[in-house]
Structure 1
Amino acid sequence: MKLQPLSLFVKHDGQSARSHATCVYRCGDACSQEVPNTSGNEYFGDVVRAAVTRRRVLHGGAVAALGIGASTVLAACGTSDSATGAQASASPTSSGGSELPPPPRGLDFEPVPPNTEDAVRVPSGYSSDVVIRWGDPVLDGAPAWDFSNQNAEAQEQQFGYNNDFAGLLPIEGSPNDHLLVVSHEYTNEPAMFPGYDEENPTEEQVRTAWAAHGISVVKVRGNAGDGRLVPAGSEYNRRLTVTSEFRLVGPAAGSDLVRTSADPSGTIVRGTLNNCAGGVTPWGTILSGEENFNQYFGNSDQVAEEPAATRLARYGMPEGASRRAWERFDSRFDVPSEPNEPNRFGYIVEINPWDPASTPVKHTAMGRFKHEGATIHVTDDGSVIAYMGDDERFDYIYKFVSAKKIQQGNGAAAMRHNMTILDEGTLYVARFDGNSPASEIDGSGSLPGDGAFDGTGTWIPLLRATADGAESLIDGFTADEVAVFTRLAADEAGATKMDRPEDIEASPRTGKVYCALTNNSRRGVDDNPRVDEANPRNENKNGQIIEITDDHTGTSLTWNLLLVCGDPATADTYYGGFDKEQVSPISCPDNVAFDPDGNLWISTDGNALGANDGLFSVVLDGPRRGETRQFLSVPVGAETCGPIITENRYIVCVQHPGELDDATIENPASHWPEGGDAQPRSAVVVAWKA
């Protein structure tokens, strides 16, 4: 079966159609803001690279200050009701016509066609169910959810809003039981509170929103006979919110840059904000990325002195009052009143879900930026590497290489040691160099003469933290300045500006690293940065997946683009060399995950091809490399987040269902998951083979 071309409903006007409501409440309307990265790093192709003589010598070695430059506007993918039912063939053939070998284990499902249904769709022969949704009880004694009568006291005991990352940890000795750890990225108050006045929110509404952010820990039990997971009361269950206590560790802890009137020690922070993706560590803890934290602070334009003003601007701090007006009810969100409070957010958070009385930590050695998340790879010698993306237009890819080795075992001593691994090590930022002539990277998405977008790269050291202290590896920066203002240090290092680097994960089978670059529709437009081989399309509305072969503990890498996403019927897409007539169309990759057999899975955020978002499998090796199949689709207006793929379960977080610009509480765009005339509620979903 051949795919039907999607070009009939793809928008080709260079404009995105994503819900403005999502932009406003998830990322502080970054779509309409100037890009924070105004550094002058320019990208040089091979034709001129040999003539480059400027070199920057860092403490960790000499590097060429080669990047790309200037500013742009965040791409925002949209949906259209005109999506049609194209899908991959169940029995694809090679380009020569011969039948291919069977798909890898676990990938032999019939793909779900693109659609705009207000439902979760799974392949024939599979079933799905909701595990837990916004407002469901987490703590014992939590009141029943009441949409019309929400309050902070109730929400602090209930499952939070807009679930994103999900981690599933087996409970030893109880094979059917797991801890489900879920982040709650952001709130959309007009969709939460009947009669909400954006100009004058009430204190109770604000405090309820504080309680709807954060992280939930919930024990879930497997259901006999199928793949369902059912919440179960437990001593492990926990809610972390905007008012919970966190501890700063690493080079910035105690620095003058993070001290406030409420915390003169600079070590104790109230709350975590905009928790996006994350990772499960080998020692059984959870990492969570604080992403668009800037939007919660107000009145940064009242800070004019330098270098404070430049630092605030580099992190996209909004001018004037914040959208949610939190500063009216807590002065720590008013930048002029507490100028260091924003410096206490934007880190990787680590929580120990096995100890509900423990204080989570924020790892400043891993840098401060808009963390999509962090995932861990352990080398054969026990070194721990964390890969991270800064989810902003034209920002960077990072890694952290631990100085300590992992300790095996799950005893208390091993846990204490392993929870300090991310405090000591070296933080790097990536530079990617293409190996094709610059004239062949013309912005059209056409493959260069060698048949691949690929090249080499370098990890540029920024910061080294040890038990004896920390050392800046960037001239002109102190160690705590690199930890707190990492973006500025990476600008100085000459890192490569990417098309919104989001989730990054290393394959547990091969060690190759995969990063979702979601989109950037302003690439190459007007005075914005032009293309390079790692980001090869102008007006990139559909994104790409970069595959990195890394010297994990070293500074060298090679790379190629596995997928250049979008309509398979158009010339500017690439599916790993696989026949594009036999793939499911994929757009705007966001999160990546691996199944037990080493296959790549991708969830999407904002499908620019007109259909609902979904979960996709991708074959990485052999004659089927690049074959992409849609396994699942989510309801109208929703995003697919937090995929977990096990031997017998497929878990995703369905975020912001029904979040369309013309939707209101009185006239919802979605009624998922309850149906009828119910309000939409974000939820965790599990699917299984029936």
Structure 2
Amino acid sequence: MRRLLPLISSHPGGRSAMTCRYRCGDACFHEVPNTSDNPYAGDVIAGALSRRNVLRASAVVTVATATGAAAVDRAPRAQAAVPGGVPTALQGGGASGTAARGLRFGSVEPNTTDAVTVPEGYAQDVVIRWGEPILRGAPAFDPDRQTAKAQAGQFGYNNDFLSLLPLRGEPGRQVLVANHEYTDEVLMFKGYDPENPTREQAEIAWAAHGLSVVVVQEEPKSGRLTAVTRHRLNRRLTATSEFRLTGPAAGSALLKTSADPTGTKVLGTLNNCAGGTTPWGTTLHGEENFNQYFAGGSSATDKRYGLSTGPTERKWERFDRRFDAAREPNESHRFGWVVELDPYDPESTPRKHTALGRFKHEAAQPRLTADGRPVVYMGDDERFDYFYKFVSSKRMMKGTSRAAREHNLTLLDEGTLYVARLTGDSPADQIDGTGKLPADGEFDGSGEWIPLATGDTSHVDGMTAEEVYVFTRLAADKAGATKMDRPEDVEPSPRTGRVYIALTNNTDRGKSGKAAADEANPRNLNKHGQILELAEFFDDPSADRFAWRLFLVAGDPEDPGTYFAGFPKDEVSPISCPDNVTFDPHGNLWISTDGNALGSHDGLFGVATAGPRRGEVKQFLTVPKGAETCGPIVQGRRVLVSVQHPGEVDGASVEKPASTWPDGPGRIVRPSVVGVWREDGRDIGV
């Protein structure tokens, strides 16, 4: 069994206090915004669809992709009777055999090394760092002479979500799109005074937020990627760039401000966390902890989103009135959306899609129905908040013609927004809050999608459609959604259509006055999180029923309250606080962690989702001191990760860095994108 390291943080998960301050405005130290009393149904309601019937129906899987329809498991599998009723094809494997294809590498041991650590036989390099120039005219990075103008032409700070898209006509090149979630001013500026930031520092931070588009070049022999600076497609979107509100709430009185009486034009995007890549060639970006940027909140302006009643951490309200909710009460309503960017058109105005609802979007990942309509799955990253999906009423047009691209940019403006209600199939007295499995051997059950709004029609009593979109959390409260343990990234499997949701943690679960453990969130004081696997009825993404089971219950494998899809626990890598997820070409799920509560640095893990090794977790890399792993991309020849907030450790500063990554002692710590490849040039994990 792999040795675990001593726990090094008393904050939720393994985060430092600095991370909590700058990343989310100390969200975990404020009262939980969700004070609704939504019940959790611990027993299957008579007459409801059973979980196993849904899973059997969903064994016939057809998944529409950008390249067409791919059929997987066209015939229903035989369901052998096994303890707990788990289908034989989905049981965990035994000790014999080799790892699943794509996961055949030596697992990296838990560690606290101030470096990116990869398996033996693999190489790594930085693809691009914070501050590297990507636009024409942008200067080389100089942290001692940084300006807002320079930063607006350079790669932004704290890269998170990553997407790689093909670039026709330029062999060996791809388009890399990155989110820049937030800024660590104390790690960016020498002598930074958090009580008295300067206007220049605030404007540099505005320019360091947002999105970057940068073309990358592949080295033929290894697959290593390098940034192509000053390419015609390279682009920066910042906290002052123009964005367009679209969809049914655009133009609403709730979105109008003194600077924008139309309610359709927004300056900036903030706190972009994870995202998604669409089948029509655009990228989606989730605005997450936007509340922390707005001062002067009140019961009239907050509406359950956690706006500060006093000054903000960064004090931006001193330099721009739009960050003062007392002066501009609607400005915060213009953040918390899913942003869509066309990376192939550097002149286009990105869209904020109101039809997808406003909350703390961790991510937004689409799949297509059989008739070509996109369905987008979304998590709201807050303790006791919800899991959503949006089903478009419009079909995707194939091709890359101008007409097709213009049509496809409207796909997320018309449809129905839903929130999830989950029901367990075990008696409530079998869910004791420790993570002990119920008598049937699984945490599982059925669920329903509750409609909130369709176009201009509200399905929530007492709320207009515009109110549902702008105050989506309140609408979901009224609808009786299931309170979850911080639903973060979500990814449908390209092979099976099953949807995987990272539930990072919830240390308030089961506390006095808070929701207790239930079958979907089975541990009180949950430090380590879990992964939920969801199957839509008959594998129809537009269905209003689904089945679910917990795929992983994370933590120390020696803890009896952990579960790895039935795989032997003495053969898995310890994993804690799952955050971002993606799939490799072989159908394996890859998980990046945020706030590892087992004492090791955060990392990237691969886990088989099918076959005899289902549930085998293998650690592929770890990141430097103070850093989080996010934005993973796993292609045939390479793995990309965002190394976010390296050196973000309590008491650290530019003058007293906690990390020397990536450039060594005497150089400023820089968030960066890292590429990993096999030294022999072969595919990852085969």
Q: TM-score if structure 2 supplies the norm length?
A: 0.90
Q: In structure 1, how many angstroms separate the alpha carbons of the residues matched to 2:274 and 2:608?
A: 23
> Aligned in 2, Cα 1:130/1:491: closer, same or farther, shift over 3 Å?
same
- Map 1:25-424 → 2, pairs under 5 A: 25-46=22-43, 99-100=96-97, 102-232=98-228, 233-301=230-298, 308-309=300-301, 312-424=302-414
Q: What one-letter code is carried by the residue in structure 2 that aligns with 1:481?
A: E
SS in 1 for 2:393: strand
Q: In structure 2, how many angstroms separate the alpha carbons of the residues matched to 1:577 and 1:104?
A: 15
Match of 1:532? 518
Deviates more, 1:406-415 or 1:364-373: 406-415
Match of 1:471? 457
Q: In structure 2, how many angstroms separate the alpha carbons of the residues matched to 1:13 and 1:132?
A: 33
Deviates more, 1:521-530 or 1:532-541: 521-530
Q: In structure 2, how many angstroms separate the alpha carbons of the residues matched to 1:665 and 1:615?
A: 27
Q: Does 1:640 align with 2:629?
A: yes
Q: What one-letter code is carried by the residue in structure 1 that aligns with 2:628?
A: E
Match of 1:90? none
- For structure 1, the residue ranges without an aligned partner over 5 or more in a row are 52-93
> Aligned in 2, Cα 1:222/1:601: closer, same or farther, shift over 3 Å?
same
Q: In structure 2, how many angstroms separate the alpha carbons of the residues matched to 1:569 and 1:266?
A: 54
Q: What one-letter code is carried by the residue in structure 1 that aligns with 2:227?
A: P
Q: In structure 1, how many angstroms separate the alpha carbons of the residues matched to 2:43 and 2:477?
A: 21
SS in 2 for 1:417: helix
Once the two structures are TM-superposed, the CA of residue 10 in structure 1 deviates from its matched residue by 4.9
Once the two structures are TM-superposed, the CA of residue 13 in structure 1 deviates from its matched residue by 8.6
> Aligned in 2, Cα 1:539/1:235: closer, same or farther, shift over 3 Å?
same
Once the two structures are TM-superposed, the CA of residue 104 in structure 1 deviates from its matched residue by 2.5
| Contact map agreement 2:244 2:352 (CA 8 A) in 1 | yes
| Contact map agreement 1:291 1:371 (CA 8 A) in 2 | yes
Q: 2:554 aligns with which of 552, 565, 590?
A: 565
Q: What one-letter code is carried by the residue in structure 1 that aligns with 2:411?
A: I
Once the two structures are TM-superposed, the CA of residue 667 in structure 1 deviates from its matched residue by 1.6
Q: What one-letter code is carried by the residue in structure 1 that aligns with 2:476?
A: A
Q: Does 1:498 align with 2:484?
A: yes
Q: Does 1:599 align with 2:605?
A: no
Q: What one-letter code is carried by the residue in structure 2 that aligns with 1:394?
A: F
> Aligned in 2, Cα 1:4/1:105: closer, same or farther, shift over 3 Å?
closer
1:321-355 alpha-carbon deviations (Å, 9 max, x no partner):
11111111111111111111000000000011111
Once the two structures are TM-superposed, the CA of residue 46 in structure 1 deviates from its matched residue by 2.2
Once the two structures are TM-superposed, the CA of residue 225 in structure 1 deviates from its matched residue by 1.7
Once the two structures are TM-superposed, the CA of residue 128 in structure 1 deviates from its matched residue by 0.6
Q: Does 1:521 align with 2:507?
A: yes
Match of 1:627? 616
Q: In structure 2, how many angstroms separate the alpha carbons of the residues matched to 1:274 and 1:623?
A: 40
Once the two structures are TM-superposed, the CA of residue 160 in structure 1 deviates from its matched residue by 0.6
Q: In structure 1, how many angstroms separate the alpha carbons of the residues matched to 2:225 and 2:46?
A: 58
Q: Does 1:684 align with 2:673?
A: yes
SS in 2 for 1:433: strand
1:63-91 alpha-carbon deviations (Å, 9 max, x no partner):
xxxxxxxxxxxxxxxxxxxxxxxxxxxxx
> Aligned in 2, Cα 1:442/1:98: closer, same or farther, shift over 3 Å?
closer
Q: In structure 2, how many angstroms separate the alpha carbons of the residues matched to 1:254 and 1:4?
A: 56
Q: What one-letter code is carried by the residue in structure 2 that aligns with 1:507?
A: S
| Contact map agreement 2:94 2:612 (CA 8 A) in 1 | no
Q: In structure 1, how many angstroms separate the alpha carbons of the residues matched to 2:349 and 2:335?
A: 16
| Contact map agreement 2:94 2:568 (CA 8 A) in 1 | no
| Contact map agreement 1:227 1:686 (CA 8 A) in 2 | no
Once the two structures are TM-superposed, the CA of residue 31 in structure 1 deviates from its matched residue by 1.8
Q: In structure 1, how many angstroms separate the alpha carbons of the residues matched to 2:323 and 2:246?
A: 22
| Contact map agreement 2:337 2:359 (CA 8 A) in 1 | yes
Q: In structure 1, how many angstroms separate the alpha carbons of the residues matched to 2:550 and 2:308?
A: 34
| Contact map agreement 1:516 1:589 (CA 8 A) in 2 | yes
| Contact map agreement 1:14 1:521 (CA 8 A) in 2 | no
Q: What one-letter code is carried by the residue in structure 1 that aligns with 2:470?
A: V
1:151-202 alpha-carbon deviations (Å, 9 max, x no partner):
1011000011000000001101323001100010001111111111111111
SS in 2 for 1:448: coil
- Map 1:411-490 → 2, pairs under 5 A: 411-465=401-455, 470-490=456-476
1:239-280 alpha-carbon deviations (Å, 9 max, x no partner):
000000000001110100001111101110000010110011
Match of 1:88? none
Q: What one-letter code is carried by the residue in structure 1 that aligns with 2:673?
A: V
> Aligned in 2, Cα 1:96/1:119: closer, same or farther, shift over 3 Å?
closer
1:434-471 alpha-carbon deviations (Å, 9 max, x no partner):
00000100001000000000000000000102xxxx11
Q: TM-score if structure 1 supplies the norm length?
A: 0.90
Q: In structure 2, how many angstroms separate the alpha carbons of the residues matched to 1:98 and 1:17?
A: 31
Q: In structure 1, how many angstroms separate the alpha carbons of the residues matched to 2:344 and 2:94?
A: 54
Once the two structures are TM-superposed, the CA of residue 380 in structure 1 deviates from its matched residue by 2.1
> Aligned in 2, Cα 1:35/1:194: closer, same or farther, shift over 3 Å?
same
Q: What one-letter code is carried by the residue in structure 2 that aligns with 1:267?
A: T
SS in 1 for 2:201: helix
Q: In structure 1, how many angstroms separate the alpha carbons of the residues matched to 2:487 and 2:232?
A: 37
Q: What one-letter code is carried by the residue in structure 2 that aligns with 1:260?
A: T
Once the two structures are TM-superposed, the CA of residue 16 in structure 1 deviates from its matched residue by 5.0
1:568-623 alpha-carbon deviations (Å, 9 max, x no partner):
01101001100000011110000010011111100000110000111100101111
Q: Does 1:509 align with 2:495?
A: yes
Query: Percent of aligned positions with the same letter in both sequences?
Result: 61
Q: What one-letter code is carried by the residue in structure 2 that aligns with 1:153?
A: K
- For structure 2, the residue ranges without an aligned partner over 5 or more in a row are 48-90, 680-686
| Contact map agreement 1:257 1:340 (CA 8 A) in 2 | yes
Q: In structure 2, how many angstroms separate the alpha carbons of the residues matched to 1:96 and 1:562?
A: 14
1:416-437 alpha-carbon deviations (Å, 9 max, x no partner):
1111000011000001110000
1:73-113 alpha-carbon deviations (Å, 9 max, x no partner):
xxxxxxxxxxxxxxxxxxxxx9997622x322221111111
| Contact map agreement 1:620 1:626 (CA 8 A) in 2 | yes
| Contact map agreement 1:227 1:649 (CA 8 A) in 2 | yes
1:615-665 alpha-carbon deviations (Å, 9 max, x no partner):
100101111110000011111110001000111010000000010002222
Q: What one-letter code is carried by the residue in structure 1 that aligns with 2:384?
A: F
Q: In structure 2, how many angstroms separate the alpha carbons of the residues matched to 1:371 and 1:354?
A: 24
Once the two structures are TM-superposed, the CA of residue 282 in structure 1 deviates from its matched residue by 0.8
Q: In structure 2, how many angstroms separate the alpha carbons of the residues matched to 1:135 and 1:112?
A: 30
| Contact map agreement 2:14 2:596 (CA 8 A) in 1 | no
| Contact map agreement 1:36 1:313 (CA 8 A) in 2 | no
